[in-house]
Amino acid sequence: MRKVTRISLLILSLILLAFWSPWQSWNFEWINIFGIDSRDSYSGLKVKAFSGELEVFVDGNSAGVTSDQESFLEVYPIEAGEHNIKIVRPGNDGFYSEFERNINFENDVDVVIGYDLGPSLLFSEGHILTAKKSFTKGVEPTLDILSTVDDVDVKLDGRDIGKTPLRSIPIGIDSTHILTFSKKGFDTLEIEILPTEQSERDKLKDVELSLEVNLFAKPVELTAQQ
């Protein structure tokens, strides 16, 4: 039976923090859960561990450890520009792979990473979500979708929208949406995107989203294909 990982990307709400600040009207406990702060003129990084513990390094310096028992590790402030982000399992004896990427950070926008590190990138699973302001006004958000393996089939709310990479996919804000990623030899990944409240989805106008996904390989099926 195939494994389906469903990740609720309410973390998109974290990105909203960079663009709007109606703090008084938001539930304070909800704010605490997602680590909401006024971003001023810096960026931030939020990392979610899907299993076990992960240690996060920014430009070679340890920024802390998070686990699947916690919400997020939040790293703030980060100056705008390119930074090296490395994520490892603490005390890794070489069995687990490491995530390392140079990522560009923009003022007032958080980068959100969720990962489960396995023995190699092929046997790891996760996503990287970034956002930036668009140059248009009053339009609904768009989404770029990338994947670490080529030609992943993507469905939006059960409708085929093509294979990765996909560019500038319109995302309606009248409801939440389900993205489904599938490819033979890999576990299917489902991601629910957009906040549940309409008032919060309305704030996603004029935002360009970018999502990169990494699918977990099925060892038996990969062996059979060779």
> Per-residue pLDDT tens for 57-66?
999 999 999 9
Residue 192: which residues within 8 A CB-CB, separation 6 or more? 6, 7, 8, 9, 176, 177, 178, 179
Q: Report pTM.
A: 0.75
Q: What is the pLDDT of residue 193?
A: 81
CB distance 191 to 178 below 8 Å:
yes
Exposed (0-12), middle (13-18) or buried (19+): which is 11, by Cβ within 10 Å?
Answer: buried
- Eight-class DSSP state of 118: -
Sequence spans of domains, the chain: 4-225
Termini Cα distance of the chain: 21
**Share above pLDDT 90 across residues of the chain, in percent, rounded to a whole number:** 49
Give the residue from 124, 120, 126, 11 showing the smallest Cα distance to 71. 11
> Per-residue pLDDT tens for 88-133?
999 887 889 999 999 988 877 778 899 999 999 889 999 898 888 7
- Eight-class DSSP state of 184: T
